[in-house]
Amino acid sequence: MATATATTPQTDGLSVGEHTLPASWWTSPEIYEVEKRAIFFKSWMFIVHESRLTKPGDYLSYTIAGLNFFVIKNKAGQVNAFHNVCRHRAYPVVKKEQGSALVLGCRYHGWSYNTDGNLTKAPHFDNVQGFDKAQNGLYPIRTHTTDQGLVFLSFDATEEGPMPFDEWFKGLQTEMHEYDFSDYEYHMSYELDGQFNWKTLMDGYQECYHCPTAHPGLSKAFKMPTYKVVPKDRWCRHYAQIIKPDELPTKKPAAAPATQESSGWFGFGNKPEAAAPAPADDKVTNRGGSFDGLWMYLFPTNGINCYSPAWYSIRVVPITPTRTILQYDIYKKKGIEQAEIDDFVEFLQQVEIEDFDLCEATQKNLNTGVYSTGFLHPEKERGVLFYQNMVRDLVVSHLEKEEKAGQQINVAKIGSASTEGQKLEGICKSLQCTSEAAKSEVLAW
């Protein structure tokens, strides 16, 4: 008997699409914990532009994937990063979101550190045998500052460290030279607290297939048919042509106010006087600025989006499998009129709240377990395929390494300084192995 062979039709030369990752990856606590070890603790992540730290001692504190840390400018003008953990008894050294101090004093037992993380004071420890100040500085975090002043960090605390920045984001610094970051200054920050997985936001960020439907304001500023996402090395460049001034519509004449005799929403009563016609050259201003823009996705959770009036960054901060905080920093063009930057911020925030609402509604359905996977368009959702495949590969690869090692591998973990501590840590690990055995089937796909 002949066997029918199924064929997949293709149109316009497009390759066959792929499915999304399983919906369980957007809700599972176990997957989230592996993502931290496999992705967040190994990646280079954008934090801030160095211009926000104007003088030695200026600092900003953050939390990403459960790790508390801060960045601080030292006396030499370099930006350092440290875990926000006192080396004495683990109390936070910095308690504010931002501040300035050349000496950072822990409010628990008074241990103090300088801007290079060195321990400068440990009350009553001067004569304690075996205690070495030099070995008790703050836990450092590796940083990289680009020639445009963009500060990145990696939590990888292993001796060999993370992949070099210029290999991780190959070609990124060169691409960024299209934009003059020095011509912009810090304007404002804000954040949104969302009830959704971090990938729910990245799914929307990595395509504009939804833009004509969900972003009417953005669609009036840029030509949506020209929008494309081009994957690079762990980052993507987004492209779209801006609608030029001579392509913008003429402003509609403003309606004249109704007379006192008019009544109701429909203006029943005397007809209002006709409004004066608008001048022929009275064009609508493009709220997106005057050039095509420089929009970058930086794996796993950063976006840097540059327009002519301003540029802004987004840090997508995972809190739990179904909660994510979105942090935005906006940098305005120096000398820009207040009305223009206010209009741009309103334009930006409208787009972002539209995405936020999409994410919250989507996550509610993901949580139900009804949806499993979806089919992605090979061109329109190319960026989604790119980043989801990276997530998949890194998680699977990391779990294979952990299985071979017989234990979890956490490159952000800083080992015990004492022999006795390492021995006791071994007891905890042996107990963990017993409790984790029951979970092994969950992660064996």
How many residues can be counted in the chain?
445
Q: Is 263 left (phi over 0), alpha (psi -120 to 50) or beta?
A: beta
The whole-angstrom separation of Cα 14 and Cα 378 is 7
Counting Cα atoms < 13 Å in the Cβ hemisphere of 118 gives 8
* Tens digit of each residue's pLDDT (9 = 90 or more) over 10-53: 445 565 568 999 999 999 999 999 999 999 999 999 999 999 99
Distances in Å between the alpha carbon of 202 and those of 15, 26, 39, 296, 426?
23, 12, 14, 12, 38
Half-sphere exposure of 318 (CA within 13 A, CB side): 24
CB 230 within 8 A of CB 237: yes
**pTM for the model:** 0.84
Residue that is written with structure tokens 């029918």 in the block: 4
User: How many CA atoms, within 13 angstroms, populate the side-chain half-sphere of residue 329?
Assistant: 19
Distance of alpha carbon 225 from its chain centroid, rounded? Answer: 26
Task: State the Cα–Cα distance between residues 112 and 100, nearest whole angstrom.
Answer: 14
The per-residue pLDDT for 186 is: 98
* Token digits of residue 424: 């006791």
Tokens of residue 108, six digits: 């628990």
Question: Could you write out the three-class secondary structure of the chain?
Answer: CCCCCCCCCCCCCCCCCEECCCHHHHCCHHHHHHHHHHHHCCCCEEEEEHHHCCCCCEEEEEEECCEEEEEEECCCCCEEEEECCCCCCCCCCCCCCEEECCEEECCCCCCEEECCCCEEECCCCCCCCCCCHHHCCCCEEEEEECCCCEEEEECCCCCCCCCCHHHHCCCHHHHHCCCCHHHEEEEEEEEEEECCCHHHHHHHHCCCCCHHHHCHHHHHHEEEEEEEEEECCCEEEEEEEECCHHHCCECCCCCCCCCCCCECCCCECCCCCCCCCCCCCCECCCCCCCCCCEEEEECCCEEEEECCCEEEEEEEEEEECCEEEEEEEEEEECCCCHHHHHHHHHHHHHHHHHHHHHHHHHHHHHHHCCCCCCEECCCCCHHHHHHHHHHHHHHHHHHHHHHHHCCCCCCCCCCCCCHHHHHHHHHHHHHHHHHHHCCCCCCCC
pLDDT at 294: 86
- Please tell me the predicted confidence (pLDDT) of residue 261: 35
Which among 112, 114, 115, 45 has a CA at the least distance from the CA of 80? Answer: 115
Per the listing, tokens 């495949």 go with: 389
Burial label, 412 (beta-carbon count in 10 A; 0-12, 13-18, 19+): buried
Termini Cα distance of the chain: 36
Q: Tens-of-pLDDT digits for all 445 residues of the chain? A: 333 333 444 445 565 568 999 999 999 999 999 999 999 999 999 999 999 999 999 999 999 999 999 999 999 999 999 999 999 999 999 999 999 999 999 999 999 999 999 999 999 999 999 999 999 999 999 999 999 999 999 999 999 999 999 999 999 999 999 999 999 999 999 999 999 999 999 999 999 999 888 887 777 777 878 889 999 999 999 988 887 655 556 555 454 444 433 322 222 233 344 444 444 445 556 444 445 578 999 999 999 999 999 999 999 999 999 999 999 999 999 999 999 999 999 989 999 999 999 999 999 999 999 999 999 999 999 999 999 999 999 999 999 999 999 999 999 998 666 677 777 777 777 776 555 544 544 444 4
